[in-house]
Amino acid sequence: MGGATYTVAPAENPGLTGCTGSSSAKFQVTGEPNEKVKISLPKNVTISNGSDSLSVRTSQAPSGGNIRFDAGGNLTIYVGGDLKIPQAGLATSGLFVGTPTLSVTY
């Protein structure tokens, strides 16, 4: 029945819902001071343990249409997500890994 959803917030010290020992991804980007940027991140990323795959719905911070490098040309991006685990028995346990592609253009 139903399964469970685990959430890692896209933040420095994420509030974790339903899971322990997890953290958001942190990316440090440099560019032209105060320049507006566009961040592209897929809405879903597939993770696998070699025999089973699960989908993670991604989230990022900052988000929106007015993201800029700071006055020193720095930008920190955090990526988190929601993972829905199907009901017991539909996925094996283990380490699930995946590779999201994050693009920053300006």
Does residue 7 contact residue 37 with C-beta atoms inside 8 Å?
Answer: no
Domain assignment of residue 12, yes or no? yes
Domain assignment of residue 91, yes or no? no
Q: Burial code of 28-43, b = ≥16 C-beta within 10 A, e = fewer? A: eeeeeeeeebebebee
Query: What is the C-alpha separation between 93 and 51, in angstroms, rounded?
Result: 10
Domain assignment of residue 27, yes or no? yes
Domain count for the chain, please give it. Answer: 1
Q: pTM of the entire structure?
A: 0.81
Domain span holding position 46: 4-85
Domain assignment of residue 26, yes or no? yes
For the stretch 86-101, pLDDT in tens is 776 566 777 888 888 8
Domain assignment of residue 30, yes or no? yes
pLDDT at residue 1 tops 60: no
Domain assignment of residue 52, yes or no? yes
For the stretch 12-61, pLDDT in tens is 776 665 556 667 888 999 999 999 999 999 999 998 888 888 889 999 99
